[in-house]
Amino acid sequence: MQTFNPELCYLNNTLQRGKRVVVENGFIVEIGEGDNSDKGLYLPGFVNAHSHAFQRGLRGRGEAFPAGANSFWGWREEMYRLVNEVASTSFKSWCLSAFQEMRNAGITTVGEFHYLHHEEQFDYAFDDIVIEAAKEVGIRLVLLHASYQHAGIGMPLSEEQKRFNTQDFDKWKTQIETISTRISESELCSLGLVAHSIRAVEQEAITQIADLAYHMGLPLHLHVEEQQKEIQQSLDAYSKTPMRFLCDEIEISPLVTAVHCTHTAEADMEEWLTRGGNVCICPLTEANLADGICDVPRIVRSEGVISLGTDSNARISMLEEMRLLEYVQRLYRQERGVCINSEGDMASYLVDIATKNGARTLGVKAGSIETGKLADFVVIDTEHQQLQGVTEEHLLAALCCGCDNSVIIKTIIGGH
């Protein structure tokens, strides 16, 4: 049993003093009166709903433009160069770096959208490495295991993409079962399923994967409409957008998440949200890759569930992801206060996105400080220079607008 006496604690969307949080077997079992003896502000640990840890190895690469400006597709060539260089030792070291930086950024759970599977042909060697790396760092991992079948609709995998290959659906399913058994022994690891995107997975396989996730009660994640080209390919091949295809063909639930939705049509988005689907946005990566700007106000108006991901891990900071989600909209719309809850509160809304919504997206019992939830916390130094002179009333907003990772004292995961 562990007991925490946070000086300040984020409970029921308010900051409260003098609480005592009792933890048993990793879960919060009681919240009562405490003595303020633990310094700092305790927030639920941040949940990073979308990461490709190996892309940490790309940091600083692909940022020179001798032939002039390029786009997402130029970046992807650099990423494929990295994919071809990677060996198990470098793969592990990037995973370790990414996960350690995540903890330093207050992240207690990561959804690792994992599609770089093979060291040699079909060995799935990198799957175990992701799990090992997360375990060594002590971060909670939801291994979102991805299917990846072709280069584009009706196009065979290119040489660079061979390490992603899950063309043999039965073998992929067997691997899922193997991992599922292994993971069940680990307290800090769980599983989710992924169809990489409409461009990389066959229609029939997408519906099969969605069925499998639904029947296993697992989260399902997909990249959706990050790029205009993906939408055009889908329209050419299927006469419908990727999102329209998903709405027509799969069971949508609060465990199903579309990542990006940068260019999603209004009617498709409305249906996705109404049927309980989540949207994961990755502001820093989407900016870095010049993806475009998601129509966030529409999701906010529909009370849709947005979560955040560090995606390419070119920079790992949940505070910056939260800030940029709002700031991109301010720049684009010349309006302030786009990401707000029904009380008009931006800071609580952004904190919820980074905690509660991420937890729903990954199907973990975390994301809020309440009885029955996992004891995952991020502790903020309220005496840090970046928060100097800030009153309690403005503390969360100051955190969202004015702080970097240096205000984070520590993360606590499952009470440790």
Answer yes or no: are the C-beta atoms of 50 and 309 closer than 8 Å: yes
Answer yes or no: are the C-beta atoms of 8 and 42 closer than 8 Å: yes
* Spatial separation of the C-alpha atoms in residues 296 and 414, rounded to whole Å: 32
| Pair of tokens at residue 174 | 């067997």
**Nearest distance in Å: CB 115, Zn ion:** 9
**Nearest distance in Å: CB 384, Zn ion:** 32
**Nearest distance in Å: CB 361, Zn ion:** 13
Query: What x-and-dash track marks residues 289-318 binding Zn ion by CB under 5 A?
Result: ----------------------x-------
Of 144 and 339, CB closest to Zn ion: 144
Contacts (Cβ under 8 Å, ≥6 apart) of 335? 329
Contacts (Cβ under 8 Å, ≥6 apart) of 126? 54, 88, 91, 114, 116, 117, 118, 119, 163
Query: What x-and-dash track marks residues 64-103 binding Zn ion by CB under 5 A?
Result: ----------------------------------------
Nearest-CB residue to Zn ion? 311
**Nearest distance in Å: CB 92, Zn ion:** 20
Of 91 and 349, CB closest to Zn ion: 91
List the one residue out of 379, 318, 352, 349 whose CA is nearest residue 41: 379
Query: What x-and-dash track marks residues 311-350 binding Zn ion by CB under 5 A?
Result: x---------------------------------------
113: buried, middle or exposed (CB in 10 Å: 19+, 13-18, 0-12)? buried
Q: Do the bridges between strand 46-51 and strand 38-44 make them parallel or antiparallel, or are there none, so unpaired?
A: unpaired
Of 258 and 351, CB closest to Zn ion: 258
Answer yes or no: are the C-beta atoms of 276 and 302 closer than 8 Å: no
Of 262 and 355, CB closest to Zn ion: 262
Of 44 and 62, CB closest to Zn ion: 62
Q: Do the bridges between strand 19-24 and strand 2-4 make them parallel or antiparallel, or are there none, so unpaired?
A: antiparallel
| Count of residues in contact with Zn ion, rule CB under 5 A | 1
Size of the chain in residues: 416
**Nearest distance in Å: CB 195, Zn ion:** 13
Of 313 and 382, CB closest to Zn ion: 313
**Nearest distance in Å: CB 285, Zn ion:** 7
Answer yes or no: are the C-beta atoms of 169 and 208 closer than 8 Å: yes
**Nearest distance in Å: CB 173, Zn ion:** 23
**Nearest distance in Å: CB 169, Zn ion:** 22
Of 320 and 376, CB closest to Zn ion: 320
Of 189 and 289, CB closest to Zn ion: 289
- Measured in whole angstroms, the distance separating CA 188 from the mean position of its chain's CA atoms is 16
Q: Interface residues with Zn ion (CB under 5 A)?
A: 311
